[in-house]
Structure 1
Amino acid sequence: MFDVTQSLSNLKGIGPKRKTVLLEHGISTYYELLTYFPRRYLDRNFTKDIILKQGDVVTLLGSIVDSYIVHGKKSRLLVGFRTLNNERINLVFFRGVNFFQKLFAIDKKVVVSGKLEYFRGYQILHPEYEFLSDADDPEDSIHAGRIIPLYPSTEALKEDGLDSKGLRKLIHQVLEAGTISENLPSKFIKKRKLLGRDEAFRNIHFPDTMETVQIARKRFAYEEFYYFQRLLLYKQRERQKVKRLLWPLPKSPSRTNLEKNLPFELTEDQKSAVTTILSKTNSDSPSAFLLQGDVGSGKTITALLVGLHYIDNHIQVVFLAPTEILARQHYQTIYKFMGNMPFLGIELLLGGENKKTRAEKLSRIKTGESNIIIGTHSLLQEDVIFSDLGLVVIDEQHKFGVDQRETIRAKGKNPDILAMTATPIPRTLCLTLYGDLTLVNIKTKPKGRKPIDTRWYKEDRRAGVYNSIRKYVSSGRQCYIVYPLVEESEKVDLESCTVAYENLRTTVFPDLKIGLLHGKMKSVEKESVMEKFKSGEIQILVTTTVVEVGVDVPNATILVVEHAERFGISQLHQLRGRVGRSDLESFCILMTGDSISEEGRDRLEALVASNDGYYLAEKDLAIRGPGELLGVKQSGLPEFKIADLVVDRELLDEAKEDASSIPLDDPNEVSELRIRFSEGKFLFAN
């Protein structure tokens, strides 16, 4: 056994320069080097004694015989490579011509891999390559004639000889130093048929077969999940140490009054959600929940019913929303329900308000005169001080970063947290991201809602779509036409939306009232457009994804999504939720061009086939992966080195079961967990 936390300085070939560049890449110990896992593998079991065939992917050992540049429409470098069987193959490089001409010196011994093509003889375009020693170097056995790992690399690493070959040499040295000790309980290794740690490290870096790679990978994926679940247990335990300062009332007169006067009947899921949340708020530690409900399932009223138990005890409740449109929507919804109870003090705090208005609002919030405070990121600013904040409701909570969520929480007196999302999150992600929250689901829609009729049309059906819009709008309905808007092409997207609006207004529907809404408009303009749309003054609203959440216009029954192939499943489902908010028949039309990728086709067919947000979320996760699905920057996704939330779902369940089955009472483990919690890493050195 040897200490994997020792410095790389102990390795042969690590001088000050290499040590510095490795440190810049987060590698300073044996352990960090061992967990710098390969990004992929090349099968360099050489292709021997075979007849070369066009289209075959081959790995060949040979040497360089010549090289020359061919000038033409596009210059290219031809490097003559001769195999052990005396076959000549041209290695062709269109990029980096001068660099590769110097690199591929005559008589150099090299292994090349790639797809064999035929053009005036056999050739491989931009092959994978690795040079071998001229002498019979025993070290060459770790670089060729076997399955070899390729590591993530950068120019800085390559300049210091730390390409895949250089890294393999260092890792081989570490593995030769001795046996690596185990860090998982032996009963779980046996129960889950996992490789031991030492063998797993050897097999993931120097495998005999690709099957052994997968077996080693499973071991490390389990280890990451296991310690991540232990970390969640630790977080729960730490949270339980914090004592509750503010207590919601078990019975709320305001809630009773509101329920009595609601113009609709609460669904069983809504009633159950309120009961579940309140049952947890009688503990002496603050609680944290994730209220997950499909679009239009009634999360806002559910959160309000919970909040009234706090307000009746003079405890403030905050609703934090990601956009002004959603914040205004919450304000209007809550005001509509609670307007006959002015003593509650409902406040809307947004950015860009004049100093006097903002100062008056801040004063009411600080003195406790305002009990329900609704706002955007403006609530996170330093000048916002609460009197007694006891419940924080964060809507579309994955749109807020971890720091932002912590900032608002810190403004309260150990408040309870109610995170809400209308993006149904697959169970695997919930276990991972929100394992320390109590999950509460609202699956049923309010009574009387009809499924939305979703159709996918290409450009040749546009005239028919416009005729249908005219028919429905002329009969008193309203319509959204949504254009994509993404960061990378924001300017172009905004322009196409504006041009389309002008065309629709002047050419296609000159007799109808059309409005334009996008995120670059001033707040007062956006508010004016939305008010006109809600009142029916605007019949067709041309907009970007700013309407994705929070806009509730029951009379809008047609949604047309332009360039629908550019949206993810969850985003399309969110957009679709802007219609179907009454008992009227509603339609979602997905428009695309004729050329569409297979993945795009999968997404659109899933939308047409199902209105179930939970099914669609699973589908989206399978297609795009968790980072894309939630937005890596804001999602708070743990940085797993090797575990995959899509591929390894069963393993996550197993690790969770095992991690929860043993007490968290080892001081060393708790100390390590505390470090891992701050670093966001889940493979343990010890």
Structure 2
Amino acid sequence: MTDQGTAPFEDSELATYLGGKNAQALEKAFGYTTVGDFLWHFPRRYVEVGELTPIAELPFDEHVTVVAQVVNVSQRQMHSRRGFIFEVTVSDELSSGGQELKMTFFNGYQARSDLIVGTIAMFSGKVGWYQDHLQLSQPDYAVLDEASQADPRPIPIYPATAKMPNKKIRDLMGLLIPHLSEERLPEFLPEEILRAHRYPERHRAFLERHTPREIKNAYIARQRFAFEEAFVLQLSLAERNRQLGTQQAITRPRVEGRLADKFDRQLPFELTEDQLQVGDQIAADLSQAHPMHRLLQGEVGSGKTIVALRAILQVIDAGGQAALLAPTEVLAAQHFSSIKKMLGKLAEPGLFGEGEGTGVALLTGSAKTAQRREALLGIASGETGLIIGTHALLGDQVQFAELGLVVVDEQHRFGVEQRDALRAKSGDWVPHTLVMTATPIPRTVAMTVFGDLDTSTIKRLPAGRAPIQTHIVPMQLAGYRDRLFSRITEEVSQGHQVYVVCPRISDTTAEQGVLLSTYDEPPGQTMSVEAMMELLAGMPEFSSLRVEALHSQLDAARKQELMDSFARGEIDVLVSTTVIEVGVDVHNATLMVIMDAERFGISQLHQLRGRIGRGGLPGTCLMTTWLDADHPSVSRLKTIESTLDGFELAEADLAERREGNILGVQQSGSQSSLKELSIIKDRTVIEQARGHVDALMKMPAWQTKYPRLLEIVGAWADESTKEFLNKN
């Protein structure tokens, strides 16, 4: 059979090599349509015929592998649902008494076809107990022919489905394997890299991954493909970074005696060493004739906004304007208020009649017509040096006099269309870009996701940040439940304020409210803002407290009104969803209660906790759960309870998240989703790949020396990947 036209082997249709019926079955099972899709469907593990366990010595509740002969088969219908159970009895020759073991397959159509009496097969699964007999339920298996018994090789166990079981996948892969060759799967990694790590060439690596002679060969091949993904991803990011460096930006050097210097002199506190160091890095970037593209990471409350504001003033001093993009209207309004307060008279245009002040404006989707018109006029005329807002800043009506800096705040996904919209607003010059995040990023993620960004980190918290104590509250214990609510009232009685965070806004069952009238047992579902408001309303001790609810379904004006009231101390207890996770800054808030805390991720819990202890007052975070102490989800809470180190928590958060989610890529089968590379497990590989990419980028005209590699990088950066890369 010949290749399909001139299409590269990996891009060829599966039907060309497997036939139409098999190709349709693979597409239905996994969404695969090309040879490359199927080739990258790698085994999740392998089983060896080597070290076998006699049936008589099988350990209960452990994963085992046995080679045995089928001595009996039977089938019976299931009573509780449609379908049948296929039972296989096997006997091995390692047991002196001819011990037998039962295998159970639910709707085992393939097993019924493969496992006839007399068949010798290798079975792999977890040993269970059923009706006084040991059994393997739904085990993986591989029928052993005479050749495999004489020359046993590791047997691949693939991710499978009921209608596409392992046996079928192995058979189909067997049809594809003979077509693998160096011509059809040419190498593109530089030869010196293969030699340095003793990696097999690409076509050989595919063979060893699917049909290894020894398991160690399969894992060397797996390492090669993990390196390949890390290398191509980082090379794509490095190329993009290089291209950014060729773009033209207006230099914005620091101008002595202007707004930036005056702002520094009026600060009521000293900047930390980290803030000064990062500020110097950004100031140097802004002085260059190519656009800055920098990531600024730091804990909640580490002072990122001050650092960004100093950069903004440097740009304004040099004749440019700055836009600060925030993910929500609440956060945009908060930035506007806090920055105006920090600037004081420096936020007044024409200060001292010398024109050294600058206008600061707020523009959001809900802005009233007159406010919007005034903001747009100030932006267009240049009188407004800093415009703060949401996606409304990207509208066609927004025209800048000279946009010099874009600051992108937490959680804002800066996509291709948004970048293009901003470029159009800055004429022939590309604005400098500063991306801020309060979520500490592990080094491996920074290299694989933000590899095209220069990274600055603020690690030390400013003076005045009080320590936060964190405790898990086991709600199944009545004493702890009672103490939780009395703890809230005690905090308010001391003149402080309290956040109560719930996972949901409203309830979907009528029984919930009745159940919560006592709260003596786990609610039927996770606690909601509405249910918590009802519960507190029924408690006499809360009758004199000012309790309000805040969530995303309220209109923008109401949300802002509530936040302003809470900031002014007019609300004692704010019952909220995670809308307060980012940007809400209330110095008098000292207690954070997080209901059903196991529903939140590590980073989210850490972000929420960072909302308290911001005014020099000690903070307390109480995380409630109805789960038993030994439940796996409670381990996440114990991690939060044990440390305030955001980078340590970021590593823990990374360990329990899916790789695709880390990259922000959800598309199934997308070129940009990682198939072999694990950001968690392959740290050494990522470091090595980064080193090789750095060396390659220093090589003159590497693109000419490695044209195939350049082609691969271009193909890898398809449309979805380009969008992913431009979201950083």
> Please, what TM-score do these two structures have when normalized by structure 1?
0.86
Could you tell me how far apart the structure 2 residues matched to 1:487 and 1:427 are?
A: 39
1:621-651: CA deviations, max 9, x gaps? 12335545575559x9952220111111112
C-alpha distance in 2, partners of 1:614/1:637?
Answer: 29
CA contact (8 A) 2:91 2:100 kept: no
Q: In the alignment, which residue of structure 1 is the partner of 2:353?
A: none
> In structure 1, how many angstroms separate the alpha carbons of the residues matched to 2:285 and 2:205?
43
The 5 A counterparts of 1:620-631 are 620-628=653-661
Deviation of 1:416 after TM superposition, in Å, equals 0.8
Does the aligned pair in 2 maintain the 1:54–1:118 contact within 8 Å?
Answer: no
Distance 2:14 2:390 in 1: 53
Equivalents in 2 of 1:264, 1:166: separation in Å? Answer: 71
Partner-residue secondary structure (3-state), 1:296: coil
With over 3 angstroms needed to count, the CA separation of the structure-2 counterparts of 1:52 and 1:104, relative to structure 1, is farther
Q: How does 1:187-586 map to 2 (within 5 A)?
A: 187-245=192-250, 247=252, 249-251=254-256, 253-340=258-345, 341-343=347-349, 344-355=358-369, 357-397=371-411, 399-400=412-413, 402-403=415-416, 406-407=419-420, 409-413=422-426, 414-459=430-475, 460=477, 461-485=480-504, 496-507=528-539, 508-586=541-619
3-state SS of the aligned residue for 1:624?
coil
| Distance (whole Å) between structure 1 residues aligned to residue 506 and residue 677 of structure 2 | 29
Q: Counterpart in 1 of 2:638?
A: 605
Q: Secondary structure at the match of 1:546?
A: helix
1:675 equivalent to 2:715? Answer yes
Letter in 1 for 2:651: E
Within a 5 Å distance, the mapping from 1:173-188 to structure 2 comes to 173-175=178-180, 181-188=186-193
Per the alignment, residue 115 of structure 1 pairs with 126
Given residue 246 of structure 2, which amino acid in structure 1 is its aligned partner? K
- Could you give the per-residue CA deviations for residues 403-456 of structure 1, whole angstroms, max 9, x where no partner exists? 465355434431111000001111111111111111111112221222212222
Q: 1:370 offset after TM fit, Å? A: 3.0
* Aligned counterparts of 1:328 and 1:46: Cα–Cα separation in 2: 66
RMSD over aligned CA atoms reads 3.8
Q: Show the counterpart of 2:19.
A: 15
Q: Distance in 1 between matches of 2:44 and 2:499?
A: 44
Distance 1:610 1:150 in 2: 40
Distance in structure 2 (CA, Å) of the matches to 1:9 and 1:616: 44
Residue 124 of structure 1 pairs with residue 136 of structure 2: yes
CA contact (8 A) 2:659 2:674 kept: no
Q: Is the 8 A contact 2:660 2:674 kept in 1?
A: no
Instruction: Give the distance between the partners of 2:561 and 2:721, measured in 1 at CA.
Output: 48
Amino acid paired to 1:445: L
Residues 1:337 and 1:401: Cα distance change in structure 2 (over 3 Å): closer
More displaced stretch, 290-299 vs 441-450: 441-450
- Give the aligned residue type for 2:126: K
Q: One-letter code of the match for 1:526?
A: K
Question: What per-residue deviation string (whole Å, max 9, x for no partner) do you get for residues 237-273 of structure 1?
Answer: 2112211246455446111122222232222211221
Write the distance in 2 (CA, Å) between the matches of 1:408 and 1:555: 40
3-state DSSP class of the match of 2:695? Answer: coil
From 681, 684, 709, the equivalent of 1:647 is 681
What does residue 702 of structure 2 align with?
Answer: 665
Distance 1:80 1:162 in 2: 18
Amino acid of the structure 1 residue aligned with 2:125: G
Flag the 1:313–1:54 CA change in 2: closer, same or farther, 3 A: closer
Offset at 1:524?
Answer: 1.6
Q: Distance between the aligned counterparts of 1:680 and 1:456, measured in 2?
A: 41
Q: AA paired with 2:439?
A: T
Within the alignment, does 1:67 sit opposite 2:74 as a pair? yes
- Judged with a 3 Å threshold, the aligned counterparts in structure 2 of structure 1 residues 82 and 178 are, in CA distance, closer, same or farther, namely farther
Name stretches of at least 5 consecutive residues in structure 2 with no aligned partner: 93-97, 350-357, 513-523, 723-728
Change (3 A) 1:637 1:650: farther
| Residue identity matched to 1:15 | G
Identity %: 33
Runs of 5+ unmatched residues, structure 1: none
Structure 1 residues 661 and 72: CA distance shift in structure 2, 3 A: closer
1:168–1:489 distance in 2 versus 1, CA, 3 Å: farther
Does the aligned pair in 2 maintain the 1:561–1:591 contact within 8 Å?
Answer: yes
Asked if the contact 2:361/2:375 (under 8 Å) is kept, the reply is yes
Shift of 1:303: 0.6
Q: Matched residues in 1 for 2:226 and 2:44: separation?
A: 15
2:323 counterpart letter in structure 1:
V
Q: Are the aligned partners of 2:671 and 2:716 in contact in 1 as well (CA < 8 Å)?
A: no
Q: What CA distance in whole angstroms lies between the structure 1 residues aligned with 2:25 and 2:80?
A: 40
Q: Do the aligned partners of residues 18 and 177 (structure 1) sit closer, same or farther apart at CA in structure 2, a change above 3 Å counting?
A: farther
User: How far apart are residue 27 of structure 1 and its match?
Assistant: 5.9
**Is contact 2:627-2:634 (8 Å) kept?**
no
* Displacement after TM superposition at 1:374 (Å): 1.3
- Amino acid corresponding to residue 636 of structure 2 in structure 1: R
d(CA) in 1 for partners of 2:504 and 2:528? Answer: 10
What is the rounded CA distance, in whole Å, between the counterparts of 2:655 and 2:505 in structure 1? 22
Do 2:348 and 2:359's aligned partners in 1 also have CA atoms closer than 8 Å? yes
1:54 Cα deviation from its structure 2 partner:
6.3
Distance 1:280 1:503, change over 3 A: same
Q: Deviations over 1:297-321 (max 9, x none)?
A: 1111211110112223342211111
1:474 Cα deviation after fit? 0.9
Q: Identify which range, 120-129 or 222-231, moves more after superposition.
A: 120-129
Q: 1:149 aligns with which of 151, 156, 177?
A: 156
Q: Are 2:470 and 2:621, in contact at CA under 8 Å, matched by a contact in 1?
A: yes
Between stretches 538-547 and 638-647, larger displacement belongs to 638-647
Q: What amino acid does structure 1 have at the position aligned with 2:528?
A: S
Contact 1:477 1:557 in 2 (8 A): yes
The answer as to 2:95 corresponding to 1:92 is no
Structure 1 residues 176 and 665: alpha-carbon distance in aligned structure 2, compared to 1, 3 A threshold = closer
Residues 72, 14 of structure 1: alpha-carbon distance in 2 compared, 3 angstrom cutoff: closer
User: Is 2:169 the counterpart of 1:164?
Assistant: yes
Distance 1:458 1:595 in 2: 8
Higher mean C-alpha deviation, range 366-375 or range 81-90? 81-90
Change (3 A) 1:556 1:80: closer
Mapped partners of 1:27, 1:628: distance in 2:
21
Shift of 1:233: 2.4
Deviations for 1:553-603, whole angstroms, at most 9, x for unmatched residues?
001111111111222211111111101112112211122224255543332
Q: Distance in 2 between the 1:53 and 1:153 partners?
A: 26
Q: Give the paired residue count.
A: 670
CA drift of 1:530 comes to 1.0
Deviates more, 1:534-543 or 1:617-626: 617-626
Closer/same/farther in 2, CA of residues 349 and 170 from structure 1, 3 Å limit: farther
